[in-house]
């Protein structure tokens, strides 16, 4: 294993560690050495709108996906410029090495995202209903 792979293993483990405390309250949709994901709904009820977050170990970086920031952009109002630089798209943060300050900020953002989504048991149900309604209007 080269230095980059070892570094990515550490980044992946740390990002997975940010999500793992929420696993008992949600549904683990992936748990491998490359993907770890959480969903607000059991497999039979999943739609893209119920996905909470994940981490993925890629070749160029390790990604952390946090869907609550897509669903409620107000969560990012106080995001640091440093963490914002790590964003790709609306809900993905990329890392190539452990950054304690940014990981602490990401852990806080994840907690706040949980509070406004999964912390509300009806949130996932409302998201599925909105998703179903939008799809039926197509």
pTM recorded for the entire structure: 0.86
Q: How many domains does the chain have?
A: 1
25-49 confidence digits (pLDDT tens):
888 999 999 999 998 877 777 666 7
Give the domain extent around 89.
3-136
CATH number for the domain that contains residue 52: 3.90.1150
Give the C-alpha distances (Å, rounded to integers) separating 127 from 1, 6, 50, 71, 92. 42, 38, 6, 10, 20
pLDDT of residue 40: 83
Q: What is the pLDDT along the chain (138 residues), one digit of tens a residue?
A: 688 899 999 999 999 999 999 999 888 999 999 999 998 877 777 666 778 999 999 999 999 999 999 888 889 999 999 999 999 999 999 999 999 999 999 999 999 999 888 766 566 667 667 767 776 776
3-19 vs 100-116: helix crossing angle, rounded to 10: 30
Give the integer Cα–Cα distance in Å for 126 and 45. Answer: 12
Contact present, 68 and 22 (Cβ < 8 Å): no
What confidence tens digit (pLDDT) does each residue in 87-101 have? Answer: 999 999 999 999 999
């Amino acid at each position: 294993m080269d230095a980059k792979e070892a570094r990515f293993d550490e980044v992946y483990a740390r990002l997975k560690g940010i999500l793992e405390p929420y696993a008992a309250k949600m549904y683990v949709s992936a748990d491998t050495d490359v993907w770890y994901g959480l969903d607000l709904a059991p497999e039979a009820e999943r739609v893209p709108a119920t996905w909470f977050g994940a981490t993925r170990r890629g070749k160029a970086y390790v990604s952390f996906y946090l869907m609550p920031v897509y669903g409620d952009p107000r969560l990012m109002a106080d995001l640091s410029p440093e963490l914002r630089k790590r964003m790709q798209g609306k809900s993905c943060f990329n890392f190539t090495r452990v950054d304690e300050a940014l990981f602490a900020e990401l852990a806080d953002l994840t907690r706040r995202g949980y509070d406004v989504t999964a912390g509300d048991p009806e949130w996932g149900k409302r998201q599925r209903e909105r998703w179903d309604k939008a799809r039926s209007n197509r």
